Structure 1
Amino acid sequence: MNTTAPYRPGHGGYVSEFGRFIDGYLQAHPEVQASQRQGWRIWWERPLNVDELKRSGKDAVPEPPYHYR
């Protein structure tokens, strides 16, 4: 058992075999996390365009409150 795995609050100190594998892999390959951060910025951290949001709200079709009637 790998005792160098980080402690995770709420898990009583237990770290699964897969958790240990991922922790070790990410330590050995820091470029993976850099790539994840880059992907996050590309898809999620976009500048907010208020005019576009207003326009898309006007074009939207109202959704019924309950789909299964």
Structure 2
Amino acid sequence: MGLFTKHSMYESDHTKFIRELKEKTPGMDERQVAGRALLWDKAPLTLDEQRRVEESRLRQQAYPYQSKV
């Protein structure tokens, strides 16, 4: 008897919860994809935009609370 044949029907509580949640709320996968696209999937910057962003970045001293006397 193989290792995986003995417990092939096992399903964790977390897996059951996610499966039941997806069954109860149709369209959840599409909303997840849309939310990810909104927050994380950004269009790549052109070279001009990259240069402009780099030039406009403010330089900060290593320890900002130290006053220059």
TM-score normalised by length of structure 1 = 0.52
Structure 1: any 5+ residue segments left out of the alignment?
7-14
Secondary structure at the counterpart of residue 45 of structure 1:
coil
**Aligned equivalents of 1:37, 1:55: Cα separation in 2:** 30
User: Which contiguous aligned blocks of 4+ residues in structure 1 show a shift greater than 4 angstroms?
Assistant: none
> Structure 1 residues 52, 59: closer, same or farther in 2, change over 3 A?
same
Cα RMSD, aligned residues only: 2.8
For these two proteins, the number of residue pairs brought into alignment is 55
Q: Which residue among 48, 52, 59 is the counterpart of 2:49? A: 52
Distance 1:56 1:4 in 2: 49
Distance apart, 1:63 and its partner CA: 2.5
Q: What residue number does 2:11 align with? A: 4
Aligned equivalent of 1:66:
63
Give unpaired runs (5+ residues) of structure 2.
Answer: 1-9
One-letter code aligned to 2:58: V
Kindly name which structure, 1 or 2, has the bigger radius of gyration based on alpha carbons: 2
Residue 35 of structure 1, aligned match among 31, 44, 50: 31
Task: Give the TM-score normalised by the residue count of structure 2.
Answer: 0.52
